[in-house]
């Protein structure tokens, strides 16, 4: 695969050692090394998402090296593959963590409520993004991440966009994880303040908190019964990733109708995600395979987040300004309010 095929500008001749020129393995190896480091840190600090750690490690690398240096030119081909192809594989494997029967067992009010949470949060966030004059792509990535499932949703949406910037995806992931981490302390405090029972508190936590790991941390503080409900509600939100990606892909296809190369109506990795959900729900996938897929998913998404992190330069974040931060804060309030309403109605 040539560099032009993965959307990179070929470096000036002579900047790369012949042994590395055009090779993918240096960037891929570094991405997996970053993922491994993030997973290791997460073992000691489980409340901190491994994907956040990975993206921070990538950002550190980006800010201590010169972007135009020969070393970064060597790494770029593999990093580009990691930030696109590996994240799509990770999203596909994420489908194996979902069982439709567990979600439907919540009851139709909660199932319908989850749809309302995702649709409502995305719609309001998109509107607020326009009012705050945040870029359309940046707004869409924040809206998806905050309404569905955090970094995995950002990565999935980024994977179907025709015009995209790694820096915007990395910024959205960072914002999702920062505000989601705040929710770890906020949700138990709110549950105690309002005197909620375990089921209602669990529904609210799963309906409002951004990352799966953050849901586990927050609901775990509330109690084991709340944790069980919260995780299932969160997985119901994860399931919404498939239709949202299909709709975004359809819109991208419609907007590029005059171009020679149009995106697919439904991306292949979205089909793969749905297929994995169906197979898991039918019970034909052995638990050993599910466990192995969960490990593989963590490594793939970790490598993708590390690669995205290498596009996060301080100058880029400085230029982004306060508006994405304000939008992320507003999106958190929106999902918190809609999630709270669903929790009360589903009680």
Does residue 177 surpass a pLDDT of 90?
no
Domain that holds residue 193: 25-345
User: Average pLDDT for residues 34-55, to the nearest whole number?
Assistant: 83
pLDDT of residue 262: 57
* Average pLDDT score over residue span 263-291: 85
pTM of the model: 0.72
Cβ neighbours of 165 (radius 10 Å): 16
Per cent of the chain over pLDDT 90 is 36
pLDDT of residue 171: 85
Given this model, what pLDDT does residue 130 score? 96
Tell me if 322 is assigned to some domain: yes
Does 58 map to a domain?
A: yes
Residue 16 pLDDT greater than 50, yes or no: no
Question: Does residue 289 register a pLDDT over 90?
Answer: yes
Q: How far apart are CA 189 and CA 265, in angstroms?
A: 44
Residues in the chain: 347
- Out of 107-111, 301-305, 306-310, the most confident range is 107-111
| 20 within domain boundaries | no
How far is it, in rounded angstroms, from Cα 194 to Cα 15? 62
Q: What is the DSSP string of 76-145?
A: HHHHHHIIIIIHHHHHHHHGGG--HHHHHTT-HHHHHHHHHHHHHHHHHHHHHHHHHT--HHHHHHHHHI
pLDDT above 80 for 135: yes
- Which is nearest to 168 in space by CA: 200, 198, 192, 136? 136
Mean pLDDT of the chain: 82
pLDDT value of residue 342: 94
Query: Is 16 domain-assigned?
Result: no
Q: How many domains does the chain have?
A: 1
Mean pLDDT, to the nearest integer, of 297-320? 77
Pull the structure tokens for residue 86: 């590996």
Buried b (16+ CB within 10 A) or exposed e, 205-238: bbbbbbbbbbbbbbbbbbeeebbbbbbbbbbbbb
The verdict on residue 95 lying in a domain is yes
pLDDT digits (tens, 9 = 90+) for 232-268: 899 889 889 889 988 888 887 777 665 545 556 666 7
Of 47-61, 255-269, 298-312, give the lowest mean pLDDT range. Answer: 255-269
3-state DSSP assignment of residue 237: helix
Whether the predicted pLDDT of 4 surpasses 50: no
Q: What is the pLDDT, as a whole number, of residue 331?
A: 96
DSSP codes joined into one string, 189-202:
HHHHHTT--HHHHH
Q: Is residue 180 part of a domain?
A: yes
Q: What pLDDT is stored for residue 26 in this prediction?
A: 84
pLDDT at position 11, please?
37
Asked, for residue 337, whether it belongs to a domain, the answer is: yes
- Is residue 288 pLDDT above 90, yes or no? yes
* Residues 61 and 309 sit within 8 Å (Cβ to Cβ): yes
Please tell me the least confidently modeled range out of 87-101, 165-179, 247-261, 314-328.
Answer: 247-261
Residue 115 lies inside a defined structural domain of this protein: yes
Task: Determine the Cα–Cα distance for residues 313 and 67; give it in Å rounded to an integer.
Answer: 9
């Amino acid at each position: 695969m040539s560099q032009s095929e993965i959307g990179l500008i070929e470096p000036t001749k002579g900047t790369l050692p012949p042994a590395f020129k055009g090779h993918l393995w240096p960037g891929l190896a570094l991405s997996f090394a970053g993922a491994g480091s993030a997973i290791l840190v997460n073992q000691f600090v489980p409340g901190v998402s491994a994907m956040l750690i990975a993206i921070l490690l990538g950002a550190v690398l980006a800010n201590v090296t010169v972007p135009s240096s020969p070393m970064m030119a060597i790494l770029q081909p593999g990093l580009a593959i990691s930030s696109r192809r590996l994240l799509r594989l990770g999203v596909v494997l994420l489908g194996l963590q979902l069982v439709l029967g567990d979600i439907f067992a919540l009851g139709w009010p909660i199932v319908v409520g989850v749809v309302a949470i995702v649709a409502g949060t995305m719609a309001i966030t998109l509107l607020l993004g326009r009012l705050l004059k945040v870029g359309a792509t940046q707004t869409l990535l924040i809206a998806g991440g905050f309404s569905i499932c955090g970094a995995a949703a950002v990565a999935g949406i980024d994977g179907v966009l025709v015009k995209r910037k790694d820096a915007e995806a990395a910024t959205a992931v960072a914002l999702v994880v920062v505000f989601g981490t705040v929710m770890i302390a906020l949700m138990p405090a709110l549950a105690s303040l309002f005197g909620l029972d375990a089921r209602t508190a669990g529904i609210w936590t799963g309906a409002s908190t951004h990352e799966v790991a953050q849901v586990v941390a927050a609901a775990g503080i509330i109690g084991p019964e709340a944790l069980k409900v919260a995780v299932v509600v969160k997985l119901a939100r994860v399931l919404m990733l498939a239709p949202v990606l299909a709709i975004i892909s359809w819109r991208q296809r419609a907007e590029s109708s005059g171009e020679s190369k149009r995106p697919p109506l439904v991306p292949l990795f979205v089909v793969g995600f749905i297929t994995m959900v169906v197979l898991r729900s039918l019970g034909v996938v052995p638990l050993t395979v599910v466990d192995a897929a969960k490990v593989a998913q963590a490594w793939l998404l970790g490598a993708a987040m590390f690669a995205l992190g290498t596009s996060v330069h301080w100058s880029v974040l400085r230029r982004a300004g306060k508006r994405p931060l304000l939008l992320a804060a507003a999106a958190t309030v929106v999902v918190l309010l809609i999630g709270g309403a669903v929790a009360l109605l589903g009680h």
